[in-house]
């Protein structure tokens, strides 16, 4: 498997969330808003997002959109985004950045499976898991 990408849905704040994630993760961003009422592309900065993705080296790492009007978002705890880190320095940095205005559910710590691990819910209510294998 080349990569796993999570797809998140928001209720009007997809642009804000994806820009925050871009800042935290150091990725590129692509955002496509829903077209206007006449079906034309819009440059309205407040337009709901039809599709967005964060890219690293041209590969998607996260995708998201706003729910279309009339389709209510039902936030819950049924989706987490898992990030497997390359180093302890990376996990410390990412975990710290993503916890801004969020809630740490499991502080970063060494786990019995030989990894440094932590869980948090970010400021947008999305649950994240961070894992980094460490030598025993």
Backbone angles phi, psi at 90, to 5 degrees: -65, -45
The pair phi, psi for residue 113, each rounded to 5°, is -85, 10
CA distance 47 to 45: 6
Whether 112 and 89 share a structural domain: yes
- Shared-domain flag, residues 45 and 19: yes
Walk along the chain (136 residues) and give the pLDDT tens digit of each residue: 235 578 899 989 999 999 999 999 999 999 999 988 888 888 888 899 999 999 999 988 998 999 887 888 876 665 789 898 999 999 999 999 999 999 999 999 998 889 999 999 999 988 898 989 986 5
Q: What is the pLDDT of residue 23?
A: 97
- Structural domain boundaries enclosing 86: 80-133
- Position 1 scores a pLDDT of 21
Q: Are residues 42 and 91 located together in one domain of the fold?
A: no
**Domain final position from 37, 66, 95:** 66
Instruction: List the one residue out of 119, 125, 100 whose CA is nearest residue 25.
Output: 100
Structural domains of the chain, count: 2
Q: Would you say 83 and 21 are in contact if contact means Cβ atoms under 8 Å apart?
A: no
What are the φ/ψ torsions at residue 122 (nearest 5 degrees)? -80, 180
pLDDT of residue 77: 60
Predicted TM-score of the model (pTM) = 0.76
Please check whether residues 126 and 85 belong to one and the same domain. yes
């Amino acid at each position: 498997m080349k990569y796993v990408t999570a797809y998140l849905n928001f209720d009007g704040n997809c642009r804000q969330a994806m820009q925050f994630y871009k800042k935290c993760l150091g990725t590129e961003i692509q955002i496509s808003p829903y077209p206007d009422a006449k079906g034309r592309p819009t440059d309205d900065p407040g337009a709901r997002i039809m599709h967005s993705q964060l890219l690293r080296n041209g590969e998607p790492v996260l995708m998201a959109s706003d729910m279309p009007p009339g389709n209510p978002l039902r936030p819950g705890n049924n989706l987490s985004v898992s990030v497997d880190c390359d180093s302890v320095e990376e996990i410390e940095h990412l975990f710290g950045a993503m916890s801004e205005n969020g809630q740490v559910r499991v502080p970063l710590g060494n786990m019995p499976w030989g990894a440094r691990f932590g869980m948090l819910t970010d400021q947008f209510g999305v649950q994240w898991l961070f894992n980094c294998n460490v030598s025993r």
